[in-house]
Amino acid sequence: MNRILVLSTYSIKNPTGGGQKRVAAIVQQYRAAGNNVEHAAIYLDTANTGADQNDMAVPWTKYNKNPLAYVIGDLLLSDSLDEESDVRTKFIALIKDFKPTVVQIEQTFLYKTVKNVLDDLGWSGVMVNSTHNIESLLKKDILESSTNLDDAEINTYVSAIDDIEKFAARDADFTIACTESDSKELKRFGAKDVVVAPNGISLGKVNKEDAAKVKDTYKKKGVDKLILYVGSAHPPNLTGYAELIGGKVGFMGENTRLLAVGGVSSLIFDYTQTLPNYIRPIFNERVELLGMVSEQRLASLLYLADQIILPITEGGGSNLKTAEAILSDTSIVATTKSFRSYESYLSLPNIIIADNGEDFRKAMADSLSQPKKARTDKQKQLASGVEWSNTLKKMVERLA
C-alpha cells in the first residue's frame, strides 16, 4: 500500500471545474485501490471554492494584485514554496506528518517548487507528474485570445511554463497524460515512462422527483424535446456554438428547447446581443440559458435530455463533457474534435458526427426525429469505459 500525496493548485472540496473533477477522481480511485491518500491544495486565497484541512492558501497580496492573475494564477504559484513562508512551513509539516511514499503533482505548475522542498528534506519517494494538458500551449492560446499582451510578453510567460513542463517531464519517475497526443509531446520533452489516463466521468445520481418537476415544467410549455449543451465559460465553448448553431435555431420545432447549462450560458448571452433583432425573439424562445445549475439538476437534465450536443471546434485536451454524454446514453451530435481521445466510442449507436454548421444542425434535427437505438450489452460495457474507474485504471495499476 502506497502513501500518496496529491497536490494541486485548487481545492477539491466542491469540485465543479474539469480539473477539480479529475483530481477528485484520482484521489478517489487511488483510495479505492487501497492506498492511503491525502490531497492538499496550494492555492491563491482569492479562489472562492472553500478549503479542506490540508489546503494551503497563498496570500493574494503576495502578487501585488497582478491583473493577469485570472489567467496566470497557476504560474504565479509555481515558486510558492521556494521561500520561507507560512505555506512552506505548513507543507513541510504535512510531509513530515504524512510521510508520503508517492508525491503526485497535478497540472505540473507546482512540480519544481515541491521538488526543491522535497530535495531539501532529503525525501526519496516516487515523483509523479500528472498532466492535464500541455500547459504552455494552452496558456499561449489563452493569453493571445483574452489579454492585450504583446508577443514578447506572452513568450515570457509561455517560456516559464515550458521550463517547468520540461523539467517535470525529465525529472518525474512517471508521467500521466490525458491523451495520446499529449503523451507524444511529453515524451518529446524527455518523459521516460508515460501512462495515458483519459478524462472520465461519474454521473450524478438522478433524483426522480427533481427530474419529474423539470419534465412537468417543460410539458406545460408544450415542450417534449430537450437538447442539452453543457459547457464552462471557456471561450472555445462559445466559438464552436457560434460557428455551428449561432442564431440559426429555426430548425427546432416549437416543441423543442436547447438548454445551455454552465458558464457557457453567459458567453452565449453576450453573443445573442450581437444577433439581428429579427432573430432574437425566435432565439429567445427556442434557447434557454440556464447558467450554473446544481449537480442534482444537472443529473436530471442529463437524464431527461433527448440529445446532447458537443459543438467543439477548437482547443486541446480531452473533453469531460464528451465522456458525460457517452455515459448518459443519450443521442449525441458532436464534432470530430469533441471526440478526440474518445474515438473508440464512435461505434456506439445514436452518435452523429458533423463538422460544419449546416450538417450539424441537420444532424440535430434528424437525431430528434429518429427513434433511439438501444445499446447492446457489449456496447454498454464499452460505454462504461469512460467511467473514472476505467480511464484511470492504468494509472492506479502503475503504482500498485
Partner 1 sequence: MKRVVIDLTEFNSWSGHLTGVQRVSYGLASSFADSDTDVRFVTYDGGSAFLEVDYAEIIALFKKQEEQQQSSVRQAVQEGRLSKSEIKKAAKAVYHRLPNFVKDKITPERKDRIIRKAKAAYSRLQGSPRAVFAPSILKTKSSTPFEFNKDDVLVSSCRVWDHPKYIKTLKAIKSQTQLKLALVIYDLIPIYQQHTFGPGLTERYSRYLFDTLNVADYLLPISASSKKDLLRYAQDLGIINLPTIEVIRLGDDIANTASNKVPEFVKNPDSFAVTVGTIEARKNHAEIYYAYKLAVEKNISLPELYIVGKPGWLTGDIIYAIENDNDVNQKLKIVHNVTDDELAWLYSNALFTVYPSQYEGWGLPIAESLAYNTPCIASFTSSMAEIAPDYVDHVSPFDPAQMLERMGHFTSKENSKQKRAVISKGYKPYTWLNTREAVINILKKS
- Residue placing its CB nearer to partner 1 in the complex, 59 or 253: 253
Interface with partner 1, residue 90, by CB under 8 A: no
Cell 499529449 belongs to 182
Question: Minimum distance between the CB of residue 211 and partner 1, rounded to whole angstroms?
Answer: 29
63 touches partner 1 by CB under 8 A = no
221 belongs to the binding site for partner 1 (CB under 8 A): no
Q: Which residue has the cell 492538499?
A: 40
| DSSP line for 7-29 | EESS--SS--SHHHHHHHHHHHH
Task: Tell whether residue 277 is a contact of partner 1 (CB under 8 A).
Answer: yes
Say how far apart CA 36 and CA 358 lie, in whole Å. 52
DSSP 116-165: HHHHHHT--SEEEEE-SS-HHHHHHHHHHHH----HHHHHHHHHHHHHHH
**What letter would DSSP give residue 59?**
P
**Residue 117 or 365: which CB sits closer to partner 1?**
365
**Torsional sign, CA 114, 116, 119, 124:** positive
Q: Which of 47, 160, 242, 282 binds partner 1 (CB under 8 A)?
A: 282
273 binds partner 1 (CB under 8 A): no
Residues touching partner 1: how many (CB under 8 A)?
19
Q: Which residue's CB is nearer to partner 1, number 114 or number 249?
A: 249
- CB under 8 A: which stretch of 3-11, 167-175, 274-282, 332-340 binds partner 1? 274-282
167 contributes a contact to partner 1 by CB under 8 A = no
Q: In angstroms, give the least distance from the CB of 322 to partner 1.
A: 24
Give φ, ψ of 372 to 5 degrees: -75, 135
371 scored as a contact of partner 1 (CB under 8 A): no
User: Coil, strand or helix: which one is 290?
Assistant: strand
| Residue 280 interacts with partner 1 (CB under 8 A): yes or no | yes
C-alpha span between 11 and 16 (Å, rounded): 10
Site for partner 1 in 236-255 (CB under 8 A): 245-251, 253-254
CB 334 within 8 A of CB 322: yes
User: Of the two residues 260 and 302, which places its CB atom closer to partner 1 in the complex?
Assistant: 260
Quick one: which of 1, 48, 148, 278 contacts partner 1 (CB under 8 A)? Answer: 278
**Site for partner 1, rule CB under 8 A:** 245-251, 253-254, 276-282, 361-362, 365
